[in-house]
Structure 1
Amino acid sequence: MKKWIFAAALLPQLCLANASDAMTFYLDQQYQKAFTLFEQTAELGDGRSQFNLAVQYLRGQGVKADPIKAYGYFSVAMDNGFKMAEQARKSVVRRLDKSQLAQAKNLADELIARYGKLGTQSINYELSRTLTYNPTREKTANPATAYPDALRSDAVPGLASYIFDIDENGVPRDLILLNSYPAPEFGQSIAEKLRETRFVAADKKFHNAIIRGVFAGAQDSEMSQKLKARAERLLQQAKRDDVNAQAELAQVLKLLDEQPQYHAIDGGVKDIPVVAPQISFSSITQPEFTKQEKLETTYFTFSYLVNLNAEGKVVHWQPYEQVNIPRVLRKKSETLMQQWQLSAADGELKEQNWYRVQFFYNNQVPNSAYLNDQITAHVEIKPLSNKEEQQQWRYWQHKAAMGGHSDTLFQLGVNCNLRLLTLAAKQDHSRAQLQLGKCLMTKADGSAVYAEQAKHWLEKATAQGSLIAKRKLAGWYVRYSDNGSELEKAIELAEEVADENDHPLAYAYLAAAHAKLGNFEEAVDYQQQAVNEANEQAFELAPFQQSLAAYQQGNILF
C-alpha cells in the first residue's frame, strides 16, 4: 500500500484560522490572538468558541473582563449544545446584581437570535440561504469515468468533485477542484472526463455546474479496511473538537457510506424499519412560486421529515433544518405536500416510508449571467435511514464549518454564498478567493462596490498562481480601468496565461488592453490570434470576430 495515499493527498492543510488554532493560541497564553479567532467561529454558531469567548470575558484574558458578556456567551453556547456552559453560567450569576443580570439576559437573547442554533448569522442560517438546486443542461457527450490505473491494483475507493462553467457551445470551462479523496488521481480522472464531456448548446453561459464522482473500489479491500480504521481514529479526534479531523472524518464517512445519497437523520424519528424506495419524480407535483417584493431577496432552502403511507399520501411531517423561513413559504409547502399522490420509482411503498423533503425557493432578482435564473421553485425527496449523528458525514461537515475549517466553508459556499466564501478566502484559501472573485464579477456590472471586491479577491488568487484568476483579473483591468499601469498589468497577466494554455480570452484581453492604450495594430494581431484559438478550442466565434472588426476600424470596446 502506497503511503502517500494518506499523506499528501487528503484535505488541503492551508493557512487556517479555525477554532483549533484559536485553542492553540489560548493554551500558549496568546490571548488576544485566541480571542480574535474565537470571535470569528463564534459567529458561525460554534458552541466551543462561544464558551471560550465567555471564559476570556470572565477572566479578562485578551479582553477587558465583562461578566455580563460572559453570561451572554455562555448562554448562546448552551443553545448550541455545549453542555459545560450551563454550570459555568451559574458561577457568573453569583457575580451579578439584579440590574446586571437583567442586562445579561437581554444580551443572551440577542446573541442566541444571531448566533444560536437557529440564529440568523449561524452556519445553519447560511446553508438555508445557499443555492442548492442548480440543474445543469443535458449532456450530448458523456464519456465514462476511468478508474485511476495507479490505484486499481489496491482497489482504493475514492470520491472527487469539480465546479465549472458551461459555455454557449456546451463545453465545460474553468474547472475548479472541490475535493479529491483520498488521492489526487480521483480528481484527475473526473477532470479528464469533463474535458471530453459536452452539454446542450444554449444562448448563454451556465455558471456553477457541479460534477461529483464516487469510485467504489472494493468493500473488503485492504484499503477499505484502512479507511475504516482511520475513521475510528478520526472520530476520537473529532470528538475532542479537532476541526481538521472533523473535516476529514466527513469525507471518510461519506466514502464508506454504501448509500451516500441517502440523508441519514436522527431528528427525532426513531422508527424507520427499512429504507424506503426512491420516489418517482414524475409523480411529484412541483411547487409554484412568483418572486415577491415582500420577501427577502435570497434563496430559501428548508426541509421536512415526511412519512408516506402505502398509497403514497403524506400522513406525517415535521420541520427539519428550517431557519427563519417566511411563513408564506412554509404554508405553500405544507399545502402542496397534502395534495401529493406519490409512487415508488422501483418496488412498492410499505406501510411506513420516511423521506427528507427539501424545498427550494428563488426570490433573487433575475441575473442574466445565469442560464437557470428562471428556476423559482423546486422540491426533492430522498429516503431516510437512521444513524447516530456521530456516524453521519453531514454532521461532521457542519461541525467543521462552524469551527471555521476553510476548505469545508469553501465547499459549502461554492455556489456563491458570499459570506462562507469570504470566510474561507480570508484564510488564504486560493480556490475560495478565485470563486469569490468570480461570483462578485457576476454582480459587478452597475455596482462599483462589487467590482472592487471582485478585483481584490482575484488579485489574492492571482498572487497564489491561479491561471484562471490571472485571466479574470486581466479581464477586470480592461473592462473597468483606463489606468495605464493597470492596462500594462493586464498585458503582463494575459501573456502569462497565453504562454501557458493559449486561452482565446487571454489573447482577447491582450488585444483589448492594447486598444485602450491606442496600439490598434497590436490589438488587431492579438484579436486575430484570439479568433484562431477560439475556433480551435470550440468557443463561440461571433464575439471574437466582432471585436476584431471593431479594432480594425479603430474602435475601443470597453
Structure 2
Amino acid sequence: MQLFAWLVTYALLSCSVKADLLDATLAYHQGDYNKAQQQFYELAQLGNVDAIYNIGVMYLHGQGREKNPAKAYAWFNLAADFGLEEARDTARLIAKQSEQQHQALEDAYAALLTNISYEKYDQELRPELTAEPVHEQSVYRSYTVEPTYPEHAYNNGLEGWVWLEFDIDKNGAVGDITLVDSYPKNTFDKPLINAVKRWQYKAPSEIEHAYYNRSLLYHFTTFKGEQYQQSFQRQQKSYQSEISELIDAAEQGNALVQYYIANWLSSDKYNASKLLKYHWQKDTASSELLLTSARNGYANSQYRIGANLLRGDYGRVDRQKGLNWVLLAAQNGFANAQYRLGRELLNKQYVDYAPNKARKWLIAAAAQGHFRAKRDLAALLFELNEPVADIQQALDDALKLDKSHPQLLLLQAKLQQQQKQIEQAKFSAQAALNEARDRNWSTQAISAFLTLLN
C-alpha cells in the first residue's frame, strides 16, 4: 500500500509541459483572463468541453474582453454539441434575453463552427472507445521471458508499470528498445528491458520485413492472497484522503493525474486500481480518462491514443485519426511521437509517404536523444544521397550511444565503400556481422553486402 501514497504525492506535485484545464482554470480565478482564454482556446480545439464552456462564460460576463452575448451563445451551443446539454439551456436563455436579432446569434455560432465543431472532431480525432480491438496478427510472440520483480520493490509493496516500444527484425528477435515512460521511475525499467531483449516473435509465414514501434505497457503487481485481502480492507479507510485528492485533481483537469489513473485502471490487479475503481466503475474508464487527458493537452496521452488508433485498439485501424493524434503529441515536443511520425511518413505503402517531412521529425526526436531516431536519420540521409559529411555526422551521433550497433556499422561500411575504402568497408561489415550474431539479429542484409564486397 506504500505505493499508493507515493503515487498521490508524485502525481500531485508533478506538472505537464503544456497547460491543462487546471492551469487555465487557475489563471481564470487569478484574474489573468488573457492567459486563461488562450489556454482554454487551445484545449477547445482538442474537443475539451469544459474549456469550450468556460470561453462562453468569459464572453457572457465580459471577463478580459467586452461582453459579447452572440459569441457566448455560440460557445455555449458548441459545448452542447460536445455533450454538455446544460450549455444548450444557457444558450437558449441568452437568446431569450438578448437584444440582438436571433439571426445575429446564429451567425456567430455558424462562424465559430468554421473553426471548431463536433463534426470536425468526430471526423479527425474521436476514437470509438467502446469498440472491440481489431489487431492484425502479422507477428506473434513465440518465446517469453518474464521480468524479475525487483526485491526491494517487492519487499516494500511497490507496484508499477513500464511502457516500452521496440523493433522486431526479420529473425523475429527484439531489436532496439525505447523506454517511453514508467512509474515509479528507475524501479522496473531494467528488469523489463532485460527480459524483452530475449523475447522472440514469429509470423504465420516467413517474416518479410522488420516491424517498428511494437508497443508494450507492462504491469508489475504483487501477489494478492488471502492475507492481502484482509489487510486491504483494513487499510482502505486510511487512504481515503489520498483517493479523494486524486479524484479531485483528475476532475479539476490535471492532465498528468488523469494519465496516471488511466494507466492504473488499465489493470485490475493494482492496489491503486482496486481503490480507484470504487469511483471509476465503467469498463471503459481507463480509455475514457486517457482520452480526457489527451483532450487536456497531455502529450503522452495524445501519443498513446494515436498509437492505439494506428494499432486498431478502437474497433479498426484508423490511420488518419491516429496520425492526427501523434502529430499533436509531436508538436507538443514528445520525442517518441516525433519519431513515430517520422517512421510513419517513411512507409511507402501509404499516400502520405513524405521522406523530407519524415526527416524533419526524425531530426527533432534525435535532438532529444532518441536513439532509434538517430539511427534512422543516418539511414535516411544515406538513402536520400545527402552529402557524405552530413551522413557521417548523423552516423557518429548515433554511434556515440551504441558503438557496436550492427545497422550502424553496416551503414559505416556502405559509406566507406562509396569512398573506395574497400578494406575498411570489409572490416566494418564483418564487425556488424559478428555483433548481429551476438545479438541474435538478422544477418541477411549484412551477409549480402559482404558478398558484394568480396
Please tell me whether residue 400 in structure 1 is matched to residue 297 in structure 2: no
Alignment correspondent of 1:453? 357
Deviation at 1:61, TM superposition (A): 6.9
Alignment correspondent of 1:547? 449
Structure-2 change in CA distance of 1:13 and 1:98 (3 Å): closer
Letter of the aligned partner of 1:72 in structure 2?
Answer: A
Deviation at 1:511, TM superposition (A): 2.6
Letter of the aligned partner of 2:175 in structure 1?
Answer: R
Deviation at 1:26, TM superposition (A): 4.6
Deviation at 1:46, TM superposition (A): 0.9
Please tell me whether residue 123 in structure 1 is matched to residue 90 in structure 2: no
Please tell me whether residue 435 in structure 1 is matched to residue 340 in structure 2: yes
Q: Secondary structure at the match of 2:176?
A: strand
Deviation at 1:179, TM superposition (A): 4.3
Q: Which deviations, in whole Å up to 9, do the C-alpha atoms of 1:294-324 show, x marking residues without a partner?
A: xxxxxxxxxxxxxxxxxxxxxxxxxxxxxxx
Q: Secondary structure at the match of 1:211?
A: strand
Q: Secondary structure at the match of 2:167?
A: strand
Tell me, in whole angstroms, the C-alpha distance in 1 between the residues paired with 2:287 and 2:9.
Answer: 24
Alignment correspondent of 1:96? 100
* Match of residue 143, structure 1, among 145, 149, 153: 145
TM-score (structure 2 length as normaliser): 0.77
* Bigger shift: residues 528-537 or 56-65: 56-65
Q: Does the 8 A contact of 2:11 with 2:257 survive in 1? A: no
Alignment correspondent of 1:305? none
Letter of the aligned partner of 2:381 in structure 1?
Answer: Y
Letter of the aligned partner of 2:258 in structure 1?
Answer: Q
Alignment correspondent of 1:185? 187
Letter of the aligned partner of 1:252 in structure 2?
Answer: W
Letter of the aligned partner of 2:209 in structure 1?
Answer: K
Q: Does the 8 A contact of 1:137 with 1:199 survive in 2? A: yes
Q: Does the 8 A contact of 1:158 with 1:255 survive in 2? A: no
Q: Does the 8 A contact of 1:69 with 1:107 survive in 2? A: no
Alignment correspondent of 1:335? none
Deviation at 1:248, TM superposition (A): 2.0
Tell me, in whole angstroms, the C-alpha distance in 2 between the residues paired with 1:73 and 1:67.
Answer: 10
Aligned 1:46-195 pairs, distance under 5 A: 46-55=48-57, 67-82=69-84, 85-86=87-88, 88-90=90-92, 92-93=94-95, 94-107=98-111, 111-114=116-119, 119-124=122-127, 132-135=134-137, 137-182=139-184, 184-195=186-197
Tell me, in whole angstroms, the C-alpha distance in 2 between the residues paired with 1:487 and 1:141.
Answer: 37
Structure 1 unaligned segments of length 5 or more: list them.
266-384, 554-558
Q: Does the 8 A contact of 1:123 with 1:402 survive in 2? A: no
Higher helix share: 2
Q: Secondary structure at the match of 2:193?
A: helix
Aligned 1:250-261 pairs, distance under 5 A: 250-256=262-268
Tell me, in whole angstroms, the C-alpha distance in 2 between the residues paired with 1:130 and 1:163.
Answer: 23
Q: Does the 8 A contact of 1:494 with 1:507 survive in 2? A: no
* Match of residue 216, structure 1, among 218, 221, 228: 221
Deviation at 1:391, TM superposition (A): 9.5
Please tell me whether residue 420 in structure 1 is matched to residue 325 in structure 2: yes
Structure-2 change in CA distance of 1:227 and 1:165 (3 Å): farther
Please tell me whether residue 506 in structure 1 is matched to residue 408 in structure 2: yes
Q: Does the 8 A contact of 1:169 with 1:540 survive in 2? A: yes
Structure-2 change in CA distance of 1:388 and 1:33 (3 Å): same
Q: Which deviations, in whole Å up to 9, do the C-alpha atoms of 1:334-378 show, x marking residues without a partner?
A: xxxxxxxxxxxxxxxxxxxxxxxxxxxxxxxxxxxxxxxxxxxxx
Deviation at 1:41, TM superposition (A): 2.3
TM-score (structure 1 length as normaliser): 0.64
Tell me, in whole angstroms, the C-alpha distance in 1 between the residues paired with 2:401 and 2:70.
Answer: 55
Q: Which deviations, in whole Å up to 9, do the C-alpha atoms of 1:208-232 show, x marking residues without a partner?
A: 4333433332454679858776433
Structure-2 change in CA distance of 1:128 and 1:505 (3 Å): farther
Q: Does the 8 A contact of 2:413 with 2:428 survive in 1? A: yes
CA RMSD in angstroms, aligned pairs only: 4.1
Structure-2 change in CA distance of 1:61 and 1:6 (3 Å): closer
* Match of residue 479, structure 1, among 375, 383, 389: 383
Q: Secondary structure at the match of 1:165?
A: strand
State the identity as a percent.
23
Letter of the aligned partner of 1:232 in structure 2?
Answer: S
Tell me, in whole angstroms, the C-alpha distance in 2 between the residues paired with 1:391 and 1:171.
Answer: 33
Q: Secondary structure at the match of 2:127?
A: helix
Q: Secondary structure at the match of 2:194?
A: helix
Deviation at 1:518, TM superposition (A): 5.7
Q: Does the 8 A contact of 1:243 with 1:403 survive in 2? A: yes
Aligned length: 425
Alignment correspondent of 2:251? 239
Q: Which deviations, in whole Å up to 9, do the C-alpha atoms of 1:91-138 show, x marking residues without a partner?
A: 64315313213324545766444356xx3234336x799985143634
Q: Does the 8 A contact of 2:142 with 2:200 survive in 1? A: yes
Structure-2 change in CA distance of 1:49 and 1:498 (3 Å): same
Letter of the aligned partner of 1:548 in structure 2?
Answer: L
Q: Which deviations, in whole Å up to 9, do the C-alpha atoms of 1:65-97 show, x marking residues without a partner?
A: 865444332212123344663454346431531
Alignment correspondent of 1:39? 41
Q: Does the 8 A contact of 1:43 with 1:121 survive in 2? A: no
